[in-house]
Amino acid sequence: MLSFLPPTPQEVMQNIKTKFRQRRKELKYTQKELSERSGVSLGSLKRFESSGQISFESLLKLALVLDCLEGVENLCEEKNELPKSLNELLIK
């Protein structure tokens, strides 16, 4: 990926699944334990950790149990307007 391009949805999904798996292991939860604590089926959790595919509701449940829910509500926060050209960037 070129560094100035935003990540693709697939890249974001892969990054999130990796972070969730790492967080689960930091907390020393097995997949079964996390499934039971979150109410997300074991099959859904396994699929998420292997492919990144999961429902948004299940993702939020996992995030709550893994104590990483904070910030999710900021997904669509208003951002500063992006420059329209390189010249606009250089002028600032």
How far is it, in rounded angstroms, from Cα 7 to Cα 77? Answer: 18
CB burial class (10 A; 0-12, 13-18, 19+) of residue 4? exposed
Global pTM reads 0.78
Which ranges in 27-91 belong to alpha helices (H)? 31-38, 42-51, 56-65, 86-91
pLDDT tens digits for range 6-18: 889 999 999 999 9
pLDDT tens digits for range 54-69: 999 999 999 999 999 9
Residue among 73, 70, 68 nearest 22 (CA)? 68
Residue among 55, 66, 64 nearest 23 (CA)? 66
Domains of the chain by start residue, with CATH: 1-69 (1.10.260.40)
